[in-house]
Amino acid sequence: MNSSFRVTALLLCMGPLVSVLAEPVPDLTATLKAAFTDKRQATLDRLDQDETQKLCTQLRDQVPTSELSQKITRMNLATVKPPADGKYLGDWKAGEVVASTGTGLQSSDDPAKPNGGNCYACHELAPTEMAYGTLGPSLKHYGKLRGQDPAVLAYAWSMVYNSNSYAPCSNMPRFGHRGILTEQQMKDVMAYLFDAASPVNQ
C-alpha cells in the first residue's frame, strides 16, 4: 500500500468531513445580523468581530502558522493590564465563587449580578470537585507545582486577562480584555490558583 493511499484511507475513516463548499459566505456578519434580534443584554453588536475573532474564524480549527500566531499573541499581549497596585493575588475564597459560577452575560442572566468565570466548565481545579470539564488543561495543584515566582504570576495573569496573549485562538475567553471579569475578580481567581491554603493546592 503506498503511503498517499494510506493517508487518504486514514482521512476517510477518521478525518473530519470534507467540506462540501469551502467558500466563505461573503458578508457573514451582515447575514447573521439579519437573522438575529436583540435579547435583553445580548444585543446585535455582539455579532461584530474584533481582529482576533476574525482571524481565528478564518482559521476554523486549524493551528495558526507561526507568523499568524505571533501576530495574534503580540496584538493581545498589548492589551494586558497588570493589577493597578501590582498585587496579583486576592482572596481565594472569593476566587472559588468566580471559578464555580457559570452565569453572566447570557440573555437569561441578571445583569445586576457579577459575572462568573466558569473555570470549572473547562478545567479541573480543586481535587475534591469532580464536576469539571475538559476543554482546557487540568489546573490541579497549580500554585503548588509552579511556586509564586513573579514571572509565573505574570504569565498566569496574562492567561486569565487575555488567553490569546500566549495561546492564539484559544478556546478560553479573554476575561479581562473583554470585560467579563473585574480586576478584583481576576485577583481572587489568581489566589484560588496560587494560594497555599486554596483547595486547588491541597
Residue 159 partner contact from other proteins, ligand HEC, none using kind-dependent CB cut-offs of 5 to 8 Å: ligand HEC
Answer with the entry of ligand HEC, other proteins, none that 117 interacts with (C-beta below 5 to 8 A by kind): ligand HEC
Decide: 77 and 175 in contact? Cβ < 8 Å: no
CB nearer other proteins, residue 47 or residue 94:
47
Q: Residue 2 or residue 37: which is nearer to ligand HEC going by CB? A: 37
C-alpha cell at 47: 455579532
Torsion of CA 154, 160, 166, 169, to 10 degrees: -170
CA terminus-to-terminus distance, the chain: 53
Residue 43, contacted partner among other proteins, ligand HEC, none, CB below 5-8 A by kind = other proteins
81 lies in the site for other proteins, by CB under 8 A: no
Q: Least distance (Å) from ligand HEC to the CB of residue 139?
A: 6
By the rule CB under 8 A, 24 interacts with other proteins: yes
Which among other proteins, ligand HEC, none contacts residue 61 (Cβ within 5 to 8 A by kind)? other proteins
Regarding 111 and contact with other proteins (CB under 8 A), the answer is no
- Which residues make beta-bridge pairs with 39? 42
Least distance (Å) between residue 26 CB and ligand HEC: 20
Q: CA-CA distance, 63 to 68, in Å (whole number)?
A: 10
Q: Rule CB under 8 A: choose which of 9, 10, 11, 25 binds other proteins.
A: 25
Q: What's the rounded Cα separation, in Å, for the pair 186 and 88?
A: 8
Closest CB to ligand HEC among 1 and 20? Answer: 20
Smaller CB separation from other proteins, 36 or 110: 36
C-alpha cell at 50: 474584533
- Contact predicate 76/52, CB 8 Å: yes
Q: Is 140 helix (H, G, I), strand (E, B) or coil?
A: coil
